[in-house]
Structure 1
């Protein structure tokens, strides 16, 4: 079974690079005039890197944006918003580039990291309120679960599993682990009551209706399929009709509450959340607020934050990573704000940063030569949720695809130990492997144009400190042309899956930045890409047996941009209108009925 799954995976990857034919389609190519270069006006060396890149790649000189930034790796969130976001937006608008730029290139001298935001007094109060609601509503939900289980004796109890990394970090993840257990107990109780004889079933039904409303509010009580929404058994039909109408009217507006903290009418909204969606709804809404306002994991790389240049802070949660809209598995959302691709020309010295451009151009002219190394650990995936096993298998899949679709020499190390001895990996064209944390091993010699990344935490925390032992600084110092890493703990699934990354790179149809963004799951996070975003060493050199463009993901550069400033204004207005309509409907409902009790 496992071998058949692996075969299916490899066949899918081969389809992408053309072993299996498909319909030929026109292909958009990322152009230099779609690139803007961000330079620190206080760094003469950084300005020289920006000028060098513009000259070598043909990026128009007026696409260089100079900002006054401190010469250090870190910016506070306030500094980032005031010194980077605002002036960069203004520059793009004044240069009439806002609707054409797809890529931002940060350069030597531009800070690398953005610190977590500091909460305002109001945000601190909202966080405390949400935390209190989480505590009380979770306790109530657990009590309801016990009561449901008592009403259905003999029914199997939901098994609790070991908490995942996500559940250890996110309040909503903990909530979503609990809710299915309660839901299972509730459904078992409903089924048990349906099988009881009269009059026992009628008495049990009355109790079940009361508990059901506590659990899921009117939203669940009015679902006919539960068998609990019988007119006349719990309340009068006029009240039921009014609540059903209110649910229909407010339905589209509740979903928008998940993107930002509730800034006004908090008591009203939480009061009606419980009425319409029960204690479960309160727990979910409060858990989401806690995650939005908790800053423990709200730091990120400046480059990853810049992907959301046209998104204001209140339009996405900076307190955790955000799904990358350009990821190949993500469906485009109509009228959503644009996501930009960002890559960094940075290294221990400005000359090395310029070399990233020169080596990329050399490889494009002469070809990328050398050996492709995949350093796995021999781990077997237990299931699709076993991230370590999945990524280790992806390294083996990548090696297999390269063997079948290219003339490159491939080295697959499937043992636990890393490639560590000097000279163990000569003539690297591509390296992907793991896992030794922030302890670069001098086993590699890189060919011009070499691409590689090492999947471990905080390997890009700095590229300038002399004593830094992380992968990115040391690989850049030793001549790698493109790499990527994290400025903190990213968690493994933030890295591009090796087989996906390698497969798209081999097609020759995508630039480095496009390959990275199509295979990276998150933005507004801790990852950073080093290298020339336009670099495409395989262009015109892939060996498909038939044109397979129809099976490939659309390039990110084909996503609609529109007019970002206007779309941002529209987004804010739509958000305000949505909240205003929800509040108006809830106030009208209160004026026509007794105020619901908390």
Structure 2
């Protein structure tokens, strides 16, 4: 996971009052792949379980592959979704999309033109030649090395520009802005719902953004189990223990934090909050090690880091569990197979909701753990609302997997 310029977030969000939206079933459109029966059947299964109007089912025709290129995304996904929504948005009645198993996960960069391919080959050839020169240089020729490495950096930047890797995005994250006429595709766009941007002037307004969540997993049965567990747990409330896996000791109060330190401290603050509200017992690990096999029994909530593409089978998940592991590309696939990415494996092992990136997001793009769990624990706000109040960027790498209406602590309001 790379670390680039940090997003500095005001600590005032620790005491924020989230806007009153409380997502409703009639405000959700479910997007299924009409070319695959399983996708449509799952959409109907969910809509029946949540009493979502039948008219809110949108069937599109697209590939069921994990990746889709930008041109096909625009024509096969964005265009029909936009057309469907424009007919329904006169009264701003739709606030959330749910993508269902069978819809691609990630948008690849735009296809290169013939001229771009030719230019890329030339640049890669030049870079290879410089690499050979560097290998042949004597160690004493420091000035020559410095000059060649400088040339190499310039070439790397130009190669990156042509490849347009920063144009990659999660399908779900891109769909949040499907009603926006024009916005930069390179990199990310600031999320106006993120509490860290409170009172800031942003390019995109809240009225232009849709919540998006995904009902997806390695098998159809797991998706149905996620739906069923979410509904069942809402009646009794989520029970179990919270496992928080920080890497360092809690810093001194008032210390300026950014990047990794900011997120590690947010894990500590998550543990503190859960304890203070007496939601459930908390197990906090502030060592470099991760929870190991058999150490996380009755896990209802989990957040921690950092094990890249290597799920650690430490958890005995409770029904309705929410698991969030901070690491790159942990939602790069949700298909069956040998992959050990955390989102896929947590769903296989029993969680009802998870968060993760489909590619390299950079650390400051992750949802802030304390905000996410604080809002979720309120009992009034849904999973989707907790996620969108805590995630800094849209049109980027992060996705939410789970029932957007899931409210695991709704019983607290009754009690």
TM bucket (normalised to shorter chain) is 0.7 to 0.9
Match of 1:46 among 34, 39, 47: 39
Aligned position for 1:325: 192
Shift in Å at residue 91 of structure 1?
2.0
Aligned position for 1:216: none
Q: Is 1:399 aligned to 2:286, yes or no? A: no
Partner of 1:428: helix, strand, or coil? strand
Q: Check 1:389–1:470 CA distance in 2 against 1; reply closer, same or farther (3 A cut).
A: same
Q: Check 1:507–1:459 CA distance in 2 against 1; reply closer, same or farther (3 A cut).
A: same
Aligned position for 2:372: 501
Shift in Å at residue 392 of structure 1?
0.9
Match of 1:297 among 166, 171, 183: 166
Aligned position for 2:236: 366
Shift in Å at residue 486 of structure 1?
0.9
Shift in Å at residue 542 of structure 1?
5.8
Match of 2:100 among 107, 113, 119: 107
Partner of 2:172: helix, strand, or coil? helix
Match of 1:37 among 30, 40, 43: 30
Aligned position for 2:81: 88
Deviations 1:536-559 (A, max 9, x none): 112240699xxxxxxxxxxxxxxx
The whole-number CA distance in structure 2 between the counterparts of 1:98 and 1:291 is 43
Please tell me whether the aligned partners of residues 379 and 389 of structure 1 are also in contact (alpha carbons under 8 angstroms). Answer: no
Match of 2:351 among 464, 467, 480: 480
**Could you tell which deviates more after superposition, 435-444 or 293-302?**
293-302
Deviations 1:369-390 (A, max 9, x none): 0001100111566964531111
Please tell me whether the aligned partners of residues 327 and 518 of structure 1 are also in contact (alpha carbons under 8 angstroms). Answer: yes
The whole-number CA distance in structure 1 between the counterparts of 2:19 and 2:395 is 32
Q: Is 1:62 aligned to 2:25, yes or no? A: no
Please tell me whether the aligned partners of residues 309 and 329 of structure 2 are also in contact (alpha carbons under 8 angstroms). Answer: yes
Deviations 1:287-324 (A, max 9, x none): 9xx99976122111110110111124xx2221212211
The whole-number CA distance in structure 2 between the counterparts of 1:398 and 1:335 is 29
Richer in helix (by share): 1
Please tell me whether the aligned partners of residues 300 and 524 of structure 1 are also in contact (alpha carbons under 8 angstroms). Answer: yes
Aligned position for 1:348: 218
The whole-number CA distance in structure 1 between the counterparts of 2:285 and 2:338 is 29
Aligned position for 1:377: 247
Aligned position for 1:3: none
Shift in Å at residue 465 of structure 1?
3.5
Larger radius of gyration: 1
The whole-number CA distance in structure 2 between the counterparts of 1:16 and 1:541 is 19
Unaligned runs of 5+ in 2: 1-9, 121-152
Shift in Å at residue 393 of structure 1?
1.0
Please tell me whether the aligned partners of residues 31 and 100 of structure 2 are also in contact (alpha carbons under 8 angstroms). Answer: yes
Please tell me whether the aligned partners of residues 342 and 513 of structure 1 are also in contact (alpha carbons under 8 angstroms). Answer: yes
Q: Give the TM-score, by structure 1 length.
A: 0.57
The whole-number CA distance in structure 1 between the counterparts of 2:281 and 2:311 is 24
Partner of 2:214: helix, strand, or coil? strand
Match of 2:327 among 456, 459, 466: 456
The whole-number CA distance in structure 1 between the counterparts of 2:112 and 2:177 is 20
Alignment of 1:422-437 (within 5 A): 423-437=294-308
Q: Check 1:487–1:334 CA distance in 2 against 1; reply closer, same or farther (3 A cut).
A: closer
The whole-number CA distance in structure 2 between the counterparts of 1:56 and 1:478 is 23
**Aligned residue pair count:** 367
Deviations 1:324-354 (A, max 9, x none): 1221233466984611111000001111112
The whole-number CA distance in structure 1 between the counterparts of 2:48 and 2:414 is 31
Richer in strand (by share): 2
Shift in Å at residue 41 of structure 1?
0.6
Shift in Å at residue 119 of structure 1?
5.4
The whole-number CA distance in structure 2 between the counterparts of 1:38 and 1:67 is 7
Q: Is 1:386 aligned to 2:258, yes or no? A: yes
